[in-house]
Structure 1
Amino acid sequence: MNARRAGYVFGHDGHQMGTEPIEIWDAMIYSAARGMRRPVRQEDSSLARGSAMTTRRSRFTTTLLLLAVVAVVAAILEGGGRFLTRGREQNLMISPHLNWSDVQRFHPDLMWALKPNLDGVVQRVRTPEGTLDSSIETNALGLRNSPIGPKGDRLRILALGDSTTFGAGVNGDETWPAQLQKALDPEDAGLVEVINAGVSGYSAFQGLRYLELYGFDLVPDMVITCFGHNEWSDVLPTQIGDVEWTNSESASGFVLLIEDAIRGAARMIRPKPFGERHQRMTPGEFADTLVRMDDLCRLHGCTLVHLVWPYLSDLRKQPRGDQAGPRALIIGASMYNGTPTISLFDLVAEHSEALFFDEVHMTAEGCRLVADYVAARLGPPVTESLWGQTAERMVRWGEVFERRGDLSSAAGAYRQALQYDAENLPALVHLAEILNEQGDEQALVSVLAKLRELDPEGAYAEIEAHRSPPEG
């Protein structure tokens, strides 16, 4: 029998106290314990549950309020950051009192850019005598240029610069890039296309950004730059330099505020060793930008040429001291990388003050003279620049120079083509024709020997038929 059910209860002296089974005692003890507990009434249980629900609801409401406060604060910081940033960005428009905002727009990567598809918008620039109006037209890419189609086999020159390249104060067909195309391809034979990517107020860094983001998509064979006028202006309303510019549309307003706060705290904790920034670019940043342009052009297989732009004061033999440094930096960066440079100082020395309508910008006639001067000096930069060229491209350059009557540069281009491809038939034919015209019999003999080997009954026979008899 189960001990629990059949056992007996004994006293402390070991005598038997009773014969009731243990389970009866258990039942009695359990009943007594139940009797001592006060029964829980239904209304008490309901109150307890209600209190718990109220507590949970209160906590939930508090959490929602906290989240709402955090969201509102975050929205205020985000909106405030974006408002302050956008406000500063809108102030980037230079000379708004001269209706520049009709021509330019804010650009998240370039700070500002020309508006696309402008048609006959009148732009007004200030001159010592008052104001000067010009008509502005832009293509779908926001360039002061005709629509740009497929490159084909044309040579393409990309002109980068500030208002001197953009052509402030002159019409679109009067800018020096537009007139350079006329000078290089006077018969409009489709040999050359010059694209004007100049924008008023641009610094060299903005030109570099344009080249990186958009310029190389146009597949230029040559890039001509003209900078050094705006880099030394006071810092922009953003209170940062050009090289510190970031695309604010890709960052939150809160992050922008934090960056401003950190930047301000850093200035307080550890002042800059050279003082606060006052110019859009430092001399070192300017030189580094020019060197970087050259590196990128080499990487993309095109030639870079720098223009050194003169001032009216140079023509008056009263050069401005604040321009000596930028010019030295352009020349120094060119020497560092071996970049061709064309200085326009000799040009202005030969002409009157009618070239300029203010201290910096040239008239339509001045731009024409610049274009002719540059066209006449592109020969050596092209024929001596070994990077990024091909035999076909050098033959094309030779044809351009030959049409201009620059036989020396043309012959140099054809010789350069033969360095890339010793059996390039067009280069041999063109070079033989030039040597025959110049009467260079010694050089002609070696070229004809190569032509006889490659095309004895065609090109060789034709040149021999028109060959000038040797002198003596």
Structure 2
Amino acid sequence: MADEFLHVHDGDLGYVPRPGVRGTVRDGGPVTIEANGLRFSGEKPASADAPILAVGDSFTYGEDVADLDAWPAQLQRLTGRTVLNGGVSGYGLDQIVLRTERLTALHGLAMVIVSMIADDVRRTEMRRMWWHDKPWFALQGGKLVLRGVPVPERRKPPTAVRRRMERLLIELPPALQQFTGYSIRVHRAGTGAHISQALIERLANLQTVSRVKFLLVAQYDADAWSGRRRAQEQRNVLRPLLECAAMHGIATLDTFHRLAAEPRPGDFYGTLHMNARGNLMIASLLAARLRTWSS
């Protein structure tokens, strides 16, 4: 989720990484946001190939791991190609698509990798997440209409107070989060599935216009491995989006089966997010996929 030290308000996206900021994760590993607002992925390789852009939520950004342990940084090392980390913690699929449009216009790219988790779909039903107002889409006549922009900048409790409150608020059921104003729904539950399919079609149009290859990746949070029902719930959300992407000419990668083949998939996670080992697995899957494209 957004942190006021690491993020700055943005009228179009709600918030973005704060350019030039440096911090640390819990184990002391570095967090570095470069002057261009992207997370540091290591020194740029000597490769003359155009860069790869990675966009997504906290799983792309690399929440709870150091700069070089996020999967975009590990993919850069594995491939020897520049990988730009445009992930932002807490984003819904709506914000991910909007950020993809912004960054694709700014960088001469060879490829865009868009990563998502199941909860990104629920986030498209919200106009506020974790105290941060956000843009959102409505469907009118089957077409997406952007709402909530410019996103207002709201005053929040002081950081120390907010962090103490969030330990309690994040555990509350959605109805109580709505009551406290911590998160506010604008669409009924389930609407996000339809909005998200329209967003995938929007990505397909961007792929056509930009003439850049896109790859849509499905990732899974730690809760997917707490039981079969949880795993199936997440797969039921993500599978239709992967199918929609494929139907519209976007390549896809579902990471579920690789993780499910492990005796203890939870070993690849810290708490909710992937640890360095988990991010290496994702980077390895992506590197293998990129090799098949270039062969």
Q: 1:357 to 1:211 in 2, by over 3 A?
A: same
Counterpart in the other structure of 1:370: 282
Is the contact made by 1:156 and 1:219 (CA closer than 8 Å) also made in structure 2? yes
Deviation, 1:278, is 4.0
Task: Spell out the pairing of 1:403-442 with structure 2 (5 A cutoff).
Answer: 410=295
Q: 1:153 to 1:276 in 2, by over 3 A?
A: closer
Deviation, 1:133, is 6.0
Instruction: Please state whether the residue corresponding to 1:214 is helix, strand or coil.
Output: helix
Task: Spell out the pairing of 1:78-93 with structure 2 (5 A cutoff).
Answer: none
1:173 to 68, 73, 96: 68
Within 2, Cα distance between the matches of 1:290 and 1:207?
11
Counterpart in the other structure of 2:55: 160
Counterpart in the other structure of 2:120: 230
1:297 to 193, 207, 215: 207
Counterpart in the other structure of 1:333: 244
Task: Spell out the pairing of 1:160-309 with structure 2 (5 A cutoff).
Answer: 160-185=55-80, 192-228=81-117, 229-233=119-123, 235-237=126-128, 238=133, 241-242=136-137, 243-247=146-150, 277-278=187-188, 282-309=192-219
> Could you say which structure has the larger radius of gyration?
1
Deviation, 1:146, is 5.4
Within 1, Cα distance between the matches of 2:268 and 2:42?
29
Deviation, 1:291, is 1.5
Deviation, 1:345, is 1.4
Q: Deviations along 1:200-255, whole A, 9 cap, x unmatched?
A: 01122212212222323211111111124233046234597354221258xxxxxx
Q: Is 1:103 equivalent to 2:6 in the alignment?
A: yes
Identity over aligned residues, as a percent? 22
Deviation, 1:148, is 9.3
Within 1, Cα distance between the matches of 2:201 and 2:30?
35
Q: 1:366 to 1:240 in 2, by over 3 A?
A: closer
Within 2, Cα distance between the matches of 1:173 and 1:373?
17
Q: 1:148 to 1:369 in 2, by over 3 A?
A: closer
Counterpart in the other structure of 2:220: 310
Q: Deviations along 1:5-39, whole A, 9 cap, x unmatched?
A: xxxxxxxxxxxxxxxxxxxxxxxxxxxxxxxxxxx
Within 1, Cα distance between the matches of 2:209 and 2:196?
20
Is the contact made by 1:155 and 1:220 (CA closer than 8 Å) also made in structure 2? yes
Deviation, 1:157, is 0.8
Counterpart in the other structure of 1:117: 20
Within 2, Cα distance between the matches of 1:281 and 1:144?
32
Range 322-331 or range 231-240, more displaced: 231-240
Within 2, Cα distance between the matches of 1:280 and 1:245?
20
Is the contact made by 2:58 and 2:90 (CA closer than 8 Å) also made in structure 1? yes
Is the contact made by 1:235 and 1:280 (CA closer than 8 Å) also made in structure 2? no
Deviation, 1:333, is 1.4
Q: Greater helix percent: which structure?
A: 1
Within 1, Cα distance between the matches of 2:106 and 2:75?
22
Deviation, 1:134, is 4.7
Instruction: Please state whether the residue corresponding to 1:200 is helix, strand or coil.
Output: coil
Which amino acid letter does the alignment assign opposite residue 375 of structure 1? A
Q: 1:174 to 1:336 in 2, by over 3 A?
A: same
Is the contact made by 1:159 and 1:225 (CA closer than 8 Å) also made in structure 2? yes
Q: 1:240 to 1:163 in 2, by over 3 A?
A: closer
Deviation, 1:179, is 0.3
Instruction: Please state whether the residue corresponding to 1:236 is helix, strand or coil.
Output: strand
Which amino acid letter does the alignment assign opposite residue 367 of structure 1? N
Q: 1:342 to 1:160 in 2, by over 3 A?
A: same
Is the contact made by 1:183 and 1:372 (CA closer than 8 Å) also made in structure 2? yes
Instruction: Please state whether the residue corresponding to 1:230 is helix, strand or coil.
Output: helix
Counterpart in the other structure of 2:160: none
Which amino acid letter does the alignment assign opposite residue 371 of structure 1? A
Q: Which has the higher contact order (CA 8 A, sep 6+)?
A: 2
Indicate the RMSD between aligned Cα atoms, in angstroms. Answer: 2.9
1:356 to 265, 269, 272: 269
Is the contact made by 2:14 and 2:135 (CA closer than 8 Å) also made in structure 1? no
How many residues are aligned here?
246
Which amino acid letter does the alignment assign opposite residue 184 of structure 1? T
Counterpart in the other structure of 2:156: none
Is the contact made by 1:240 and 1:277 (CA closer than 8 Å) also made in structure 2? no
Q: 1:154 to 1:356 in 2, by over 3 A?
A: same
Deviation, 1:294, is 1.8
Within 1, Cα distance between the matches of 2:235 and 2:223?
12
Q: 1:325 to 1:184 in 2, by over 3 A?
A: same
